Amino acid sequence: MIHLINVKSLTAVLVILGVLFLYSFLSYRTSHQQNITAENRLSADVVAVGNEFHLVAPEHLQYEQPSIVQGSRIDVVAVTPWLAPIVWEGTFNPVLLDSIYKPKNITIIATVFAVGKYIMFLKRFLETAEQHFFVGFKVHIYVFTDRPNEVPPVTMASGRRVNRTRKQPKRSNTLTEFATGLFPEANSDKKRLHFFLQLIVRLVPTAKRWQEISARRMELIQMVIEEQLPNNRNYIFCLDVDSQFHGRWGSESLGGLVAVTHPGYYRDPRSKFPYERRPSSRAYLAPGEGDFYYCGGAFGGLLQEVHHLAKTCRHNFEADAQEGIEAAWQEESHLNRYMWINKPSKVLSPEYLWQDFKPRNPEVHIVRFSGVVKNYADIRPNA
Amino acid sequence: MKPSITHFICKFLYYFKYVLRVSPLSVCSDNGSWRVGDLKMQTGLKYAQPSTQNGRTDVNSVTNWNAPLVWEGTFDPVVIDAIYKKMDPRVAVVLFAVGKYTRFLKGFLESAEKYFLVDFRVTYYIFTDNKGDVPTIKLGKGRKISVVTIPSVNRWQEVVLGRMKWATITIDKQIRNEADYLYMMDIDSVFHNDFGAESLSPLSAVLHRGYYKNTRRDQFPYERRPKSMAYIPTDEGDYYYTAAVWGGYLEDMYRLVKYCYTQSEEDAKNDIEAVWQEESHLNKYLLYNKPTKVLSPEYLWSDYDKIPADIKVVRISQLVKNYEEVRPNGGH
């Protein structure tokens, strides 16, 4: 008899669980069934819920009183018309922002593509990142390259010892992964807060055209993010490898969807922006449209925001390719269209991606990240 | 057999929780289309090109934790409206009209219909001790009035503290199922100009008109007695915010309202009342939980005060009133 009761209650429990499961599964499914509209919208898989927005500051932090009627910068605009901050030196207090973001225990992910001869830029990129990029935070840098053996051994500043571990490559169809970890010495410089930078190298096939390398970036970014989800509290920045850091790039750059204004066009009228102008492309922006010209060489944000961007741009790029069109500046064109419709919640000034060959304009008080001078014929597979 | 069933149920619930976390259920409005964090705009919208060089130079447009400081001229209402109307959030406005304060309802509501979040879905939650005093107002499409009856009190200070208590209870029981954003507003005010979607953010606070210009932080009227839960030392503080207008995501506002309520209760147990009641507790909370948008004093001015040059637009203004007439315990 006891046996009979157990069976009945078990069946009841299973039926209830089955109903709950079916309900949640069905509602999860319907959220996927949104067709791709002319506005490039793909159905979203996850919701960006507010940990990003809880800006908790520690008690008793000492800093100068902020002013309301005196902006520290009057030569530049510090907010977009949709009220996203435009980050310039002087518009933020780094101590306050760091004190807000460090306790959140986030990891900053960075992706760089060092395919073909571009591997030559990686050493300088990594060395300068260690000095300037999110110092004091956990940083994971994903390096995509077809020459994993040329990934340089990086010596850390201030004489810290480097521990390198090399795992056996896993078997997978296209990618081989092995991790090089860099660990700070136990009793390193006491002024440095706990700091952990990890380098993860991913193998990608060699490409014949530089445009192909450019095009695959979105797909690879999408895949890296998908591995990280459902942990959605972290941020990702996708950066050009042929650049180096000269100044702080830190928590002031964090936001839901973060774009960088291109150094070549931030003073120009929108008619001069090199948007894709052929209506047949999915990156098309009509005359009279567009806020800023954003860089394809530096963008970022919360994982799921960038995932949506990467997925959309990749889809549009591939759809264009099937019709025999390649946008004027490849994924940068698609990114610009995406950000016209999906407004970035934070815009970084050209301090965040300058060009070494350009003399500095007076409003750029500090160059934080800058493309190095290079000879394209030397480094592109199909110059 | 029993241990394995529990194990199976636990595993299933873990998966279920994961599915719930990625499903839009938890933050969806009734038509399932609203999503947190989207600044999406429709294609084909035309507006003036934004500049990186030329903006307002007489005021600061960002705080030092990089949140926007909203003034006329820092935003384009065309873009803002396009973005937020696409989101189509439900907005709740919590209003207390107790005792003689019901006389302000008509002016507030009629002007709100003209200027406050026009063409958005707005529900006014009117907390009153006299339902019969609530006037009939012609409301726009998608706009509602919901009356919540609360008991009368004898002191105006109790009215003010009661706001936090009743707001906490009603948000918890009712409003959280009916709104995405929530505003707390003082009823004795009238709208004069557009108060729009540029004010929406996870947590929006308004600068108090009396202390935004040159007041040093040690002069802000924070609660200065360490005995009170609202205590702020003289070397801390960003701005002084008003408690007459505040808003944000429902859950963030609920947390803040509840905080003000519980902190006031704690103070009451220790025989102390913060110098500006919930405004003191609000300022303490916002010092350590930074607002995501700070609204200029355009978003709460006062008919008592002359309008200075940096206030280009007065969007809502507190009325001059005879305190003896309207307060339950006279002037004080």
* Locus of tokens 């300058």: A354
Interface test with B, best of A83, A100, A293 (most B CBs within 10 A): A83
What number is the average pLDDT over the span B216-234? 94
Band (pLDDT 50/70/90 cuts) for residue A207 is confident
Question: Is it the case that residue A159 has pLDDT exceeding 60?
Answer: no
Looking at the complex, report in whole angstroms how far the Cα of residue A13 sits from the nearest Cα belonging to chain B. 9
Radius of gyration of chain A (CA): 23
Whether residue A259 is found in the same domain as residue A350: yes
By Cβ distance, the residue of B236, B238, B293 closest to A60 is B236
Mean pLDDT, chain B, as a whole number?
85
**pLDDT of res. A172:** 33
What number is the average pLDDT over the span B258-272? 93
Residue in chain A closest to B251 (alpha carbons) equals A50
Which has more confidence, A151 or A60? A151
Question: Is it the case that residue A239 has pLDDT exceeding 90?
Answer: yes
Tokens of A113: 């593509």
Residue in chain A closest to B216 (alpha carbons) equals A65
Contact at CB, B19 and A63, closer than 8 angstroms? no
**pLDDT of res. A161:** 31
Contact at CB, B76 and A81, closer than 8 angstroms? yes
Which residues of chain B make contact with A78, given a CB cutoff of 8 A?
55, 60-62
**pLDDT of res. B40:** 73
Whether residue A243 is found in the same domain as residue A295: yes
- In this prediction, what percent of chain B has a pLDDT beyond 70? 85
Neighbours of A383 (CB within 10 A): 9
Q: How many CA atoms lie within 13 A of B143 on its CB side?
A: 18
Which residues of chain A make contact with B288, given a CB cutoff of 8 A?
56-59
**pLDDT of res. A209:** 78
B279 counts as catalytic: yes
Interface test with B, best of A19, A26, A29, A47 (most B CBs within 10 A): A47
Assess if residue A290 is contained within a domain: yes
Strand positions, DSSP E, B82-179: 90-97, 121-128, 143-149
Q: Tell me whether 0.85 is exceeded by the ipTM.
A: no
- In this prediction, what percent of chain A has a pLDDT beyond 90? 44
Which residues of chain A make contact with B202, given a CB cutoff of 8 A?
50, 53
Looking at the complex, report in whole angstroms how far the Cα of residue A31 sits from the nearest Cα belonging to chain B. 7
Strand order in the sheet with B316-318: B189-191, B316-318, B301-302
Assess contact for B121 and B91: CB atoms under 8 A: yes
Task: Name which of A204-208, B120-124, B266-270 the model is least confident about.
Answer: A204-208
Contact at CB, A82 and B207, closer than 8 angstroms? no
Task: Report the amino acid identity of residue B225.
Answer: R
Contact at CB, A83 and B68, closer than 8 angstroms? yes
Contact at CB, B65 and A96, closer than 8 angstroms? yes
Task: Specify the CATH number for the domain of residue A214.
Answer: 3.90.550.10
A to B CB pairs, distance under 8 Å: 221
Contact at CB, B65 and A21, closer than 8 angstroms? no
Task: Name which of A130-144, A148-162, A300-314, B43-57 the model is least confident about.
Answer: A148-162
Count of structural domains within chain A: 2
Annotation-wise, does B179 bind a ligand? no
Interface test with B, best of A23, A64, A82 (most B CBs within 10 A): A82
Residue in chain A closest to B286 (alpha carbons) equals A56
Assess contact for B187 and B108: CB atoms under 8 A: yes
Which has more confidence, B177 or A164? B177
Question: Is it the case that residue B247 has pLDDT exceeding 70?
Answer: yes
- Could you tell me the sign of the dihedral formed by the alpha carbons of A313, A314, A318, A319, in that order? negative
Which residues of chain A make contact with B226, given a CB cutoff of 8 A?
none
Q: How many CA atoms lie within 13 A of B34 on its CB side?
A: 19
Which residues of chain B make contact with A10, given a CB cutoff of 8 A?
5
Annotation-wise, does B150 bind a ligand? no
Alpha carbon distance A361, A312 (integer Å): 34
Whether residue A44 is found in the same domain as residue A121: no
Looking at the complex, report in whole angstroms how far the Cα of residue A76 sits from the nearest Cα belonging to chain B. 4
CB contact set of B214 (below 8 Å; sequence gap of 6+): A69
Q: What is the DSSP letter of A165?
A: -
Range among A331-335, B19-23, B83-87 rated most confident: A331-335
Interface test with A, best of B31, B39, B42, B219 (most A CBs within 10 A): B39
Contact at CB, B203 and A261, closer than 8 angstroms? no
**pLDDT of res. B6:** 55
Question: Is it the case that residue A308 has pLDDT exceeding 90?
Answer: yes
Question: Is it the case that residue A350 has pLDDT exceeding 70?
Answer: yes
**pLDDT of res. B140:** 94
Contact at CB, A10 and B5, closer than 8 angstroms? yes
**pLDDT of res. B190:** 96
Which residues of chain A make contact with B214, given a CB cutoff of 8 A?
69
Whether residue A42 is found in the same domain as residue A138: no
**pLDDT of res. A38:** 30
Report the candidate in B200, B25, B28 with the shortest Cα–Cα distance to residue B120: B200
Contact at CB, A24 and B20, closer than 8 angstroms? yes
Tens digits of per-residue pLDDT, B132-163? 999 999 999 999 999 999 988 887 777 777 88
Domain extent at residue A207: 72-379
Whether residue A51 is found in the same domain as residue A98: no
Strand positions, DSSP E, B66-188: 69-70, 90-97, 121-128, 143-149, 181-185
Which residues of chain B make contact with A20, given a CB cutoff of 8 A?
16
Tens digits of per-residue pLDDT, B160-199? 778 899 999 999 999 999 999 999 999 999 999 999 999 9
Active-site entry in B72, B198, B223, B279? B279
Contact at CB, A56 and B288, closer than 8 angstroms? yes
Whether residue A50 is found in the same domain as residue A77: no
Question: Is it the case that residue A218 has pLDDT exceeding 50?
Answer: yes
How many residues are given for chain B?
A: 332
Tens digits of per-residue pLDDT, B13-31? 544 444 433 333 223 333 3
Whether residue A48 is found in the same domain as residue A188: no
What is the SS3 assignment for B264? Answer: helix
Tens digits of per-residue pLDDT, A169-180? 333 323 323 333
By Cβ distance, the residue of A28, A60, A81 closest to B75 is A81
Whether residue A133 is found in the same domain as residue A272: yes
Contact at CB, B214 and A69, closer than 8 angstroms? yes
Which has more confidence, B300 or A56? B300
Whether residue A46 is found in the same domain as residue A146: no
Assess if residue A166 is contained within a domain: yes
**pLDDT of res. A23:** 67
Residue in chain A closest to B35 (alpha carbons) equals A47
Alpha carbon distance A83, B32 (integer Å): 26
Band (pLDDT 50/70/90 cuts) for residue B328 is low
CB contact set of B186 (below 8 Å; sequence gap of 6+): B244, B245, B318
Q: What is the DSSP letter of B75?
A: S
Looking at the complex, report in whole angstroms how far the Cα of residue B319 sits from the nearest Cα belonging to chain A. 25
Assess if residue A66 is contained within a domain: no
**pLDDT of res. A39:** 33
Q: What is the DSSP letter of A146?
A: S
Give φ, ψ of A144 to 5 degrees: -100, 120
**pLDDT of res. B181:** 96
By Cβ distance, the residue of A81, A92, A342 closest to B40 is A342
Annotation-wise, does B186 bind a ligand? yes
Question: Is it the case that residue B255 has pLDDT exceeding 70?
Answer: yes
Whether residue A202 is found in the same domain as residue A299: yes
Assess if residue A64 is contained within a domain: no
Assess if residue A1 is contained within a domain: yes
Residue in chain A closest to B212 (alpha carbons) equals A68
Report the candidate in B115, B110, B108, B254 with the shortest Cα–Cα distance to residue B178: B254
Assess if residue A62 is contained within a domain: no
Which residues of chain A make contact with B61, given a CB cutoff of 8 A?
71, 77-79
Whether residue A135 is found in the same domain as residue A15: no
Which residues of chain B make contact with A92, given a CB cutoff of 8 A?
62, 64-66
Assess if residue A128 is contained within a domain: yes
Consecutive H or E run containing B171: helix B156-173
What is the SS3 assignment for B142? Answer: coil
* pTM of the predicted protein model: 0.79
Whether residue A2 is found in the same domain as residue A136: no
Domain boundary (A56, A83, A101) is at A56
Assess if residue A63 is contained within a domain: no
